[in-house]
Each structure stands twice: as structure tokens, then as C-alpha cells.
Structure 1
Amino acid sequence: MNRLFHVSDIHFGAEDRAALDWFAGRVAQERPDAVIVTGDLTMRARATEFAAAQEWLEALGRPVTVEVGNHDLPYFNPWARFVTPYRRFRALERMIERPLDLPGISVVPLKTTARFQMRLNWSKGNVTRRALSATLAKVDATPDGHKVLIACHHPLVDTGTRSTSRTRGGRRALEALASAGAHAVLTGHVHDPFDVAHPTGAGPVRLIGAGTLSERVRDTRPSFNEVQISEGELHVDVHHMGLSG
């Protein structure tokens, strides 16, 4: 059996230190095969926030892949946002959008953030054709028989949570990923966990959202997902801080 811990929206700068310590303790005790972080490591993409995130992630001592969230692009420096939006990620470069190949499982990244959009709310998701093509190429290269999990920040379609993603190109991307053989899409952004089977032309795809380890909770307390894959079956448990299990 493979076990993955899926966490999102840590928001260093507005992090919940008790939640971070609780999660790190669970990682140390249970030793998952990998940790998947689906975006928003930081609150305002400040260098100090990235430094704190790097220290915390490295201390977990497990393979980690990190997606870029909308909060991870510079907010207060237009030049940096448009010209060098990922410069502060360089210390984390080996973790960013890192494909993971584990026994029987491939985790493939998909970029859903944009430095600019033709709408007022730039926090919402956007899957460009270029980003989708890059991900589809990685899916095509996964070993035969692997369970393929897509990791991105924004839900590709909204799933009924209080917050929305309104991801442009999301439905098109979901159909293409399903046709390519993706089994599930792991996301964050909305700060509440969910797990639904979404119908597509190629069959249902699991949409799995993680909650938050920050102070910016919505309908649920700080939480993370434990994703188990055994004999080809995928099972998800949501662990909430302060609750058993």
C-alpha cells in the first residue's frame, strides 16, 4: 500500500503554528511515501515567507512536490509579478512542480495560476493550452498501469464548497486529462476538503481537495488528506486537527 499526505494553503505569513506542528508530527510518526502540497505556501510571496516554508518542508524529511498557488506570486511588486514571478521560489526549485514516480503511482503537476488575466479577480484558476499540453506529455510518459494523480492548486471545476475557483479552461482540461488516463486531481485553494467522483466523457475522475494549515479557515478546522492506494483502489481519509483519526 502507498500512502500520500496531501496538504494545501499553508500560507506562511498567516500560518497556524499549532497546525504545522501537528502535521509535522503526523509525518514523523507515520512516514508517508510522499507529501503533496497543492499551492499557497505563502500569504504574500515575501522572501521571509518562502524561507520559512523551505525550512519547514525540508524538516519533514519526505519526498515533497509543491504546486504554485495564486498567493505565491508577488502581490506588491508589479515588476516581479510580470517579469520574475518565480524568483523567490528558487531555493525550493527541486520541489516545485516535481513529478513523483512511486511504485504503481505517478504524481503529475498542472499549472493553474496566472500572473495576469483578463478579469478583475486574478486569484481564480486558469489552465492555458500550453500548461495542459505540458501536463499531458508527462501523463503520456508515465509507466503503464500506474495510478495517475494530477496535482494543481485550483479545482478544475467547482464542487460546492463555499469558496470557488472558477477555473478558466478547467472543464476542457479535466476532459483531456481523463481521456489521457488520469485517475484523480488533487487541489487546494478553497480551504475546505472534498472528495467527489466527477463524470467525464472518458469516465469518472476523482476530484480531491485539501483543507488548510493556516489561520484562514473557512467551514472546517485545519486538516490534511491521507491518500491510500492499494491494489489499484484509491481511498481518502481527511484528518482534522483536534479530532481523532
Structure 2
Amino acid sequence: MSGKTVLYHVSDLHFGYEDRQALDWFAAEVERERPAAVICTGDLTMRGTAKEFALAAEWLMHLPVPVSIEPGNHDVPYYHMMLRRLARPYAHFHALKHRLGSEIALPEVAVVSLKTIARAQLRLNWSKGRVSQGDLDATLHGLAHHRDVPLKLVACHHPLVEANTHATASTRGGKRALAALARAGAGAVLSGHVHDPFDKVVEVDGQTIRIVGAGTLSQRLRSSRPSFNRLVLDGAGDFSVEVKTL
């Protein structure tokens, strides 16, 4: 392995409907290369149950490198558990995040979270993305805290704008958020949700920023095989992406 920093970007594990062959393959790749960290952009589970989070925790905690996680729309209690969804939607996720100690501390890169899910929305499909002003402000504050770091990555579940994939994110407030993140110095936004990888440079409100999506390691395949992204940082604020496919 070269002296350059390597990160693995994975998403949509969907424990409860996971692909064990894909998970074993990914874990073996982590064991072999020992990247500096693994960034997981949400949907750790299928229905947000305690059992599924326990399975996710067991697997994630066996990875021999630091791991950061983001919440996905499947990581809150499902609609049949509405009271729990509305009262304590993120309890299982926050407990797992605390157990992982999931803060990536590297001199050449900062990973800042952006929440794109909601316990409820004023539309029928609550699985779609939403960026509130409060959540955006928290991310902008995090970027400002890391202003001197060469590369600042924002990690979230939903693509903030569409990336011409089979599935869509329909993220409300996403375009506005993406422009604000670009102005704040974010080098790229990492996401998942659509289960197909992508890597694009987009222009939003006069701002240019890169968006990178990871595929899935679950049985819920769309247009591509199980995959993850291998990011190689150049130390000067840029990186390359290689899609690794099972």
C-alpha cells in the first residue's frame, strides 16, 4: 500500500435483508488493506429494530479500523411502530454510534455529518430526503471548525440532488444545502440510498461541488452488483474514487 490515505465508503447494509457474501467480502477487503477509516452513509438496517441494530453492531465492531456511521431512512422504527418512531426515532442509532466512537480524526481529511432523514414529513413518502435549516447549520458549523483541514467531506444518506440513478432521493432543501456546503469549503458530499454508485461534479447556484454515492451490500440490488467505494486521498484536498464490485 502506498503512503496515500485510503478510505472506504460503504452504504445501505440493510441488516435484516443483508447479503452475507457481500458483507464477508467487504470485511475481508478491510482486513487486507486496512484503510484509514470506513465511512458508512446510512441504512444500516431494514426496519430499524433492536435485533437488526444488534446484527449491525456485531459486524461493524469487528472491522479493524475506525468507522463512522450516518442514519438512513430505514434506521428509524418503521411505520407499524409509529409511536416509537415519533417519540424516540434515533435511540438505536445513537446507541450504536456511541459504541463505535465514530469520529474520524485524520490530519488530511475531516468527515462532517449532515442529517437528511426525518421522523415525519408533509408528504406521503417519508423515505425521501429532507435537509432542515437546523441540520444544515450544524453541518456548516462543523465545516467551519475544520476550516484548515485540506479535504472536508460531508457524509449523509440521501443524495442532495439527483445523480441520474434508477432510484431517486427527492431531497427537499437539498439543492440549497449543496450550494451552502460548497460555499463553506466542502470538497464533496458522500451519500447512499439509491443503491447504485455514482461520482459527479455538479454546479448549484453558481457553486461547483462533487457528489459521490456508494452502492449497497444488501440483497436490495438495483442496477449494479454489491459494491463499495475506495477513496484515495492525495493530501492536497483532492481524491480519486474506485468502485469495487463483488
Is this a same-fold pair by TM over 0.5?
Answer: yes
Match of 2:66 among 63, 67, 84: 63
Asked if 1:118 is matched to 2:122, the reply is yes
* One-letter identity of the residue aligned with 1:56: W
The 3 A distance-change label for structure 1 pair 109 and 90 is closer
- TM-score relative to the length of structure 2: 0.94
Number of aligned positions between the proteins: 241
Matches within 5 A, 1:225-240: 225-232=229-236, 233-240=238-245
In structure 2, distance between residues paired with 1:84 and 1:205: 34
Is contact 1:157–1:165 with CA below 8 Å preserved after alignment?
yes
Is contact 1:224–1:240 with CA below 8 Å preserved after alignment?
yes
Unaligned runs of at least 5 residues, structure 2: none
Match of 1:177 among 172, 181, 186: 181
Is contact 1:12–1:43 with CA below 8 Å preserved after alignment?
yes
Provide the residue aligned with 2:39 in structure 1. Answer: 36
- TM-score relative to the length of structure 1: 0.95
Provide the residue aligned with 2:143 in structure 1. Answer: 139
In structure 2, distance between residues paired with 1:152 and 1:124: 13
SS at match of 1:150: strand
The 3 A distance-change label for structure 1 pair 95 and 195 is farther
In structure 1, distance between residues paired with 2:98 and 2:190: 20
* 1:84-118 deviation per Cα after TM superposition (whole angstroms, max 9, x unaligned): 11122243132689442312100000000000000
* One-letter identity of the residue aligned with 1:236: V
Asked if 1:6 is matched to 2:32, the reply is no
Task: After TM superposition, give the deviation of residue 181 of structure 1 in Å.
Answer: 0.3
Identity of aligned residues (%): 53
* 1:68-89 deviation per Cα after TM superposition (whole angstroms, max 9, x unaligned): 0000010121111000111222
Matches within 5 A, 1:43-192: 43-75=46-78, 76-94=80-98, 98-192=102-196
* 1:144-169 deviation per Cα after TM superposition (whole angstroms, max 9, x unaligned): 14200000000000010010000000
The 3 A distance-change label for structure 1 pair 90 and 171 is closer
Unaligned runs of at least 5 residues, structure 1: none
The 3 A distance-change label for structure 1 pair 208 and 52 is same
What CA RMSD, in Å, does the superposition of the two structures yield over aligned residues? Answer: 1.4
In structure 2, distance between residues paired with 1:101 and 1:117: 34
The 3 A distance-change label for structure 1 pair 121 and 59 is same
The 3 A distance-change label for structure 1 pair 95 and 208 is farther
Is contact 2:10–2:229 with CA below 8 Å preserved after alignment?
yes
Provide the residue aligned with 2:201 in structure 1. Answer: 197
In structure 1, distance between residues paired with 2:148 and 2:231: 21
